[in-house]
Homo-oligomer: A and B are copies of this chain.
Amino acid sequence: MVFSPLIAELIDALRCLPGVGPKSAQKMALYLLERDHQGADKLADSLRAALDNVGRCRRCRNLTEETECQICQRTDRNSKLVCVVETPADVVAIESAGRFDGRYFVLLGHLSPIDGIGPEELGLDKLKEFVAEDGVEEVIIATNSTLEGEATSHYIAELLKSSNIEITRIAHGVPMGGELEYVDGNTLALALEGRKKIE
Contact of A27 among B7, B29, B40, B89 (CB under 8 A): B89
Whether A6 lies near B89 (C-beta < 8 A) is no
Known interface pairs A6-B53, A26-B89; A36-B13 also in contact (CB < 8 Å): no
Whether B87 lies near A30 (C-beta < 8 A) is yes
How many subunits of this chain does the assembly comprise? 2
Whether A24 sits at the interface, judged by CB under 8 Å, is yes
Contacts of A9 in B (CB 8 A): 46, 49-50
Whether B13 lies near A70 (C-beta < 8 A) is no
How many chain A residues touch B (CB < 8 A): the figure is: 57
Whether A37 sits at the interface, judged by CB under 8 Å, is yes
Contacts of A6 in B (CB 8 A): 46, 49-50, 53-54, 65
Whether B14 lies near A65 (C-beta < 8 A) is no
Whether A34 lies near B7 (C-beta < 8 A) is no
Whether A48 sits at the interface, judged by CB under 8 Å, is yes
Interface hub of A3, A65, A92 (most chain B Cβ within 10 A): A3
Whether A43 lies near B32 (C-beta < 8 A) is no
Chain B min CB distance to A55 (Å): 10
Chain B, Cβ-Cβ closest to A16: B39
Chain B min CB distance to A59 (Å): 14
Contact of A4 among B29, B65, B87, B89 (CB under 8 A): B65
Whether A157 sits at the interface, judged by CB under 8 Å, is no
- Which residues does A use to contact B, with CB under 8 Å? 1-7, 9-10, 12-14, 16-19, 24, 26-34, 36-37, 39-51, 53-54, 63-66, 69-71, 87-89, 91-92, 95, 108
